[in-house]
């Protein structure tokens, strides 16, 4: 199967998970992530706001804010050029509807990227459609994260996914594809 076929199949599988199970699994993933050293050590958390059948991040974002973390959510600024930035939020009221109806921040404080420093105080939680056992990632085909991640060298990259999103096959990846350091599911974690 090529990436597009994996993407289509994985979305169908993820969409077939019941709402109740998605909520339960998302809660388990959130607890595991919140207890991780990666979250405890991070000052800045860059995290997507969940959409449709993704692992829910709403309660996770609320909890990170309560913990005093600097929380930033992505906003698409230019679809054609694949430009995305992360903006700080301090409450859930600062999220509105954005690109393709995806929830985005309505704030103005942008996360300062730069390859002139290591972003070791930053944890980035990235979405994905499918992952393999070697932590390779298939995204939504826009390339937004593959373009953004090189701007935050040293950041810890974490993906959260349902077990159904993890493939036993190993994906054929391209040079520009970036994979997370670790993937958390309800039952396990993969990576370092």
* DSSP category for residue 99: G
Q: What is the pTM of this model?
A: 0.95
How far apart, in whole angstroms, are the C-alpha atoms of residue 156 and residue 23?
25
CB atoms near residue 142 (< 10 Å): 14
Question: Using one digit for the tens of pLDDT, what is the confidence trace for 114-144?
Answer: 999 999 999 999 999 999 999 999 999 888 9
Tell me the C-alpha distance between 136 and 185, whole Å: 15
CB atoms within 10 A of CB 1: 12
pLDDT tens digit sequence for 49-82: 999 999 999 999 999 999 999 999 999 998 888 7
Judge contact between 105 and 140, C-beta under 8 A.
no
Q: How many domains does the chain have?
A: 1
Helix (H), strand (E) at residue 66: helix 58-66
Q: Are strands 95-97 and 156-160 parallel, antiparallel or unpaired?
A: unpaired
Q: Which domain holds residue 117?
A: 3-191
CATH code: domain of residue 103 = 3.40.50.10420
Residue 108: exposure state from Cβ atoms within 10 A (0-12, 13-18, ≥19): exposed
Interior angle at CA 169, CA 139 and CA 184, nearest 5: 55
Q: Is the dihedral angle over the CA atoms 165, 170, 176, 178 positive or is it negative? A: positive
Given this model, what pLDDT does residue 175 score?
81
Instruction: Name which of 1, 3, 2, 49 is nearest 26 in CA terms.
Output: 49
């Amino acid at each position: 199967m090529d990436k597009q076929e994996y993407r289509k199949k994985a979305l169908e599988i993820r969409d077939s998970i019941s709402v109740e199970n998605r909520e339960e699994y998302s809660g388990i993933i959130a607890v595991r992530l919140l207890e991780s050293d990666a979250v405890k050590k991070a000052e800045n958390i860059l995290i997507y706001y969940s959409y449709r059948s993704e692992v829910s991040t709403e309660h996770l974002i609320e909890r990170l804010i309560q913990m005093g973390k600097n929380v930033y959510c992505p906003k698409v600024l230019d679809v054609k050029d694949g430009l995305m930035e992360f903006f700080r939020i301090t409450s859930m009221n600062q999220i509105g509807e954005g690109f393709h109806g995806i929830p985005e921040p309505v704030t103005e404080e942008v996360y300062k990227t730069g390859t002139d420093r290591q972003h070791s105080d930053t944890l980035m939680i990235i979405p994905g459609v499918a992952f393999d056992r070697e932590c390779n990632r298939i995204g939504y085909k826009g390339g937004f994260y593959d373009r953004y991640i090189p701007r935050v060298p040293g950041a810890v990259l974490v993906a959260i996914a349902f077990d159904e999103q993890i493939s036993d096959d190993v994906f054929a990846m391209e040079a520009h594809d970036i994979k997370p350091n670790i993937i958390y599911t309800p039952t396990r974690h993969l990576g370092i």
